Amino acid sequence: MAKLTPDSFVVRSDDFITSTVDNDLVMMSLEKGVYYGLDTIGSQIWEHIAKPISIDTLCHTLTDLYEVDPTQCQADVLAFLNELLNEEMIHVVNQAAE
């Protein structure tokens, strides 16, 4: 499976039941029967990838919302999204209307 880049467009999978508990997002894969939990930042990313978005645009949005170094943000977001991709929680798409 190819690694994501800042130019990649991603969208979250619809195969999850989600609920918010104490500002964290708890999710269950309908297909796998596995539970996942996302903290506040992970939940924010999950909300932003409801529609296809480039990782570069997502990082710009996050650096506008939080005091974070853009380079560090990009590295952290890429690592997080690659984990989600490995778990089949997101899909890579060719393009999007941002």
pLDDT in tens, 7-38: 999 999 988 889 988 878 999 988 888 899 99
Q: How far apart are the first and last CA of the chain?
A: 25
Kindly state whether residue 2 falls inside one of the protein's structural domains.
no
How many domains would you assign to the chain? 1
CA-CA distance, 92 to 98, in Å (whole number)?
Answer: 15
Residue ranges making up the domain that contains 64: 11-93
Kindly state whether residue 15 falls inside one of the protein's structural domains.
yes
Contact (CB, 8 A) for 13 and 89: yes
Report pLDDT digits (tens) over 34-72: 899 999 899 999 999 999 999 999 999 999 999 999 999
Kindly state whether residue 25 falls inside one of the protein's structural domains.
yes
Contact (CB, 8 A) for 66 and 17: no
Kindly state whether residue 3 falls inside one of the protein's structural domains.
no
Kindly state whether residue 98 falls inside one of the protein's structural domains.
no
| CATH number of the CATH domain containing 24 | 1.10.10.1150
